[in-house]
Each structure stands twice: as C-alpha cells, then as structure tokens.
Structure 1
C-alpha cells in the first residue's frame, strides 16, 4: 500500500484547486445591486466589458482613424493627422502615447493607452455600477485556474508513479482510486478554462446581459464586442503592430 500516501497528497491538491475555482466563480457570479442609470452602456464601456483595456485602446485608435484624426498604416505605425481640440480623455491618452513627434508604432502605443488613467477611471465606474468584475476578482479567477491546473497535473503525475510502484496484477485498484481526484480536478479545470475564466474575466453577469442586448449593426459596436476580427485587413494589420519599413 505504498501508493496510499500518494493518493492522499493527490486528493488534497485536487481538492484545493477545485475549491479555489469554485469560490472564485461564485464570487464573480454573485449578483450586485446596480444603481439607477446603469442600463446605459457606451461603446467604450462595451469594449472594456468585452475585452478589457486593450479592447478600449483598439476602439479609440480605430475611432480616431475613421474621424481622420489619426492614420493607422498597415505597416503598424500610427501617425497623428489632427491634434487640435484635444478630444476626450482616451483620445488625449492616445496622442500622449504617440508623443510630440506625431508618429509611433502601434505596438508601443497600445500598452501605454491601456494603462492610462482614463481607462482606469472607465473600469472603476463599471465596477461601481456592478457591470465589471473587480481586479481582485479577476486575479482570484486566474489563481483558481492555475491551482486547478496544478492539482490536475500533480494528480496525474502521482497516479502514474503509484501505478508503476505496484505489480501489474494489482494496478486496477490504484487506477480506480486515482480516478476520482483526477476526474474532479480535470472537470474543475475544464470549467475554469471554458466557462468561468473567459466569460467573466471583465464583465459581471449584469454586464454580460447588457452586452448580449447590444446591436452589432454599428461598426464600432461590433469592434467593441467582437474585437479586431470584424475590421478590414489593413486595420487588422495595423493593430497587430507589424512594424514594416518606414516610407
């Protein structure tokens, strides 16, 4: 019965991972009181709920490009065309990230804008309205998925070692004993990867309901909710940030 201690360790690891995933999922899905007026969702708010700060950045860049305030080249460069008027906080963050030279690679602009104060204020407002998952909730979800993955891999490893320690004729009970923690940790990992983590990373259940009710007819709304895949190839190439030769 040398494999019994390995089974106990596997059960503890698998159980810990499952508990973390379940607790994080329940916390993210817990309903919150939504203040009056929270049913109004701007396109920038929809972008954050769908894809986070980088989605907001992409939306702002494309919006400025279509307003002819910015030129997004397929080579991955952003060039300021019209810096007058200042725009809103997000547009000012884009202009500030590009810098006084008026031109910068998109791949250098995106992370700077995503970390800007205007994006943080947008996120804070959505959290206060109960539409976005708080930062600590996102960290808990990510940590839960990591714990479930670690528990699954450790259980699989310990089960393999235990099977090898037992003579071939007596391996059936060992496999059956390790099947329970392995199945439990695997299911929790699957739930975390397929159901919990992608769909509640940014939007709370209330936010997801609002996103589901948005019309995708408007090109900017489609970009906000579905990402750069809806854009024409030139803009998709620009947002990928491929830095081609400057002309």
Structure 2
C-alpha cells in the first residue's frame, strides 16, 4: 500500500490544476453582453488583432482619405494635422511635431496610447474582449494541467515499480492512476475545443459579433468594405503593393 500516498499526490495535482483552469475560463467568458451591440471598425480591429491592429486601421483610414501619406519606403507623412477622433489624434501625436516618421514606431506608440487603452477597457466591460490578466491566466492554467498530467504519469510509473506488489495489485494501481490522468487530459481537450477557436483578444461574445461582420476582401472601391477587411484581416487585406510594402518596412 505504499502507492496510496503517491495516488493522493496525483489526485491533488490533477484536481488543483483542472480547477484553476476552469476558474480562469469562467472568468474569461462570464461577462454579460449586449446582443444588440454593433461593432465599430475600431472595435472590430481590436477584437481581431489587438492594439496594433487599431493603429493600422487608423493609418490606413487616414491614408484612404488622403489625410496621411504612407510611402512604400516605410514613412508616414501628415497632410491633415487635425484628427477626427481620439485614435487619429493619437496616431498624429505618435508621428510627432515634424509631421513625418517611420511607420513602425508610429504603430507601436499609437497602440499604447490612452485612446487605445480606453477602447480596450470599454470592450472588456462590455464582455466582448478578454481581460489582459485572463489571457495570461488561461495560458498558465493550460500549462499547469499539462504539468499535472506529466506528474500523474511519473507518479503512476513510480507506484508500479515499487517492489512487493502482486500482479493483480499492479493492475489496480494502474487503474487508479488512470483516473486523474483521464481528468487532466479531458480538461486539456475541453480547453482546446473551447479556447483555441477564440482569438487572443475577443471573448466568445466578441467572436460572435466578429463572425457577423460582412466579408468583402479585395473590394477597394467601397471604403466601408475596405476598412472592414483591414480591421478583421489586418494589413494583409490591403491590395495595394505599395501600402503593404510600407508596413513591411522595419526602421
């Protein structure tokens, strides 16, 4: 019966890890949402690609309206210094007083401004975005369950190798250790099914609203369709090679 303490350790590790992951998943998906909420383009951009996607959308929207020039060399030049919303004003501020800057640092700086953080906070309160802490907690929970499953296997093998146990006893030991292992692997499978289809940024409710958006990739004559494609798919949805080259530059 020397294997019983090892079994208790296995159950403790598996139970604690699975409980931690389940609580993290509940906190991530537990907020109430307004089913009638209509996503703005900035909201769709954040839920699809995070803060940098919001900055990209603002840059491309201003370039679309000829209020900003994006050169294929990777530089942004301000034409109209008066932003029409907080996000645009943040982009202009990130470009700086000279009115010209490489695009890469502008994207990075604009993504960390108060305007973008405020957008993220509103989406979290609405239950559409995943709180930053919850993203890391779920990932840590998955790692903890994986470690627990490994520990169960190691403890089970150790119990089977203990001397003096008859054949039937070893069979029963394997069955007992299989139970916490099945619990751990089942929890990982559920986490993969439930969590992996969701993006890093959007909650399940946010994902449903994103799925309801129209998909018009490649339509560059309709501004709304063009910017929606950018918000959802990012810069890769841009058809103009010069613009894609501008964002590919690293300075």
Give the TM-score, by structure 1 length.
Answer: 0.77
What is the distance in 1 between the residues matched to 2:194 and 2:23? 14
**Which structure is higher in RCO with an 8 Å CA cutoff and minimum separation 6?**
1
Shift of 1:236: 4.9
Shift of 1:230: 2.9
**1:50 aligned onto 2:57:** no
Residue in 1 that maps onto 2:183 = 184
Residue in 2 that maps onto 1:60 = 58
Deviations 1:98-120 (A, max 9, x none): 334522251x3333222210111
Q: Is the 8 A contact 2:7 2:156 kept in 1?
A: yes
Instruction: Call closer, same or farther: CA 1:72–1:168 in 2, change over 3 Å.
Output: farther
Deviations 1:201-239 (A, max 9, x none): 433343333222110121221222233443346655554
- Structure 1: give runs of 5+ residues left out of the alignment: none
Aligned residues: CA RMSD: 3.3
What is the distance in 2 between the residues matched to 1:57 and 1:41? 17
Q: Is the 8 A contact 2:229 2:237 kept in 1?
A: yes
What is the distance in 1 between the residues matched to 2:228 and 2:163? 60
Alignment of 1:19-168 (within 5 A): 19-30=19-30, 32=32, 34=34, 39-68=37-66, 69-71=68-70, 73=72, 77-101=74-98, 102-104=100-102, 106=104, 108-165=105-162
**1:224 aligned onto 2:223:** no
What is the distance in 2 between the residues matched to 1:162 and 1:240? 56
Instruction: Call closer, same or farther: CA 1:95–1:172 in 2, change over 3 Å.
Output: farther
Residue in 1 that maps onto 2:5 = 5
Instruction: Call closer, same or farther: CA 1:8–1:229 in 2, change over 3 Å.
Output: farther
- Structure 2: give runs of 5+ residues left out of the alignment: 217-224
Shift of 1:71: 1.0
Q: Is the 8 A contact 1:55 1:227 kept in 2?
A: yes
Deviates more, 1:143-152 or 1:163-172: 163-172
Deviates more, 1:63-72 or 1:10-19: 63-72
What is the distance in 2 between the residues matched to 1:39 and 1:188? 32
What is the distance in 2 between the residues matched to 1:4 and 1:209? 47
Q: How many residues align?
A: 238
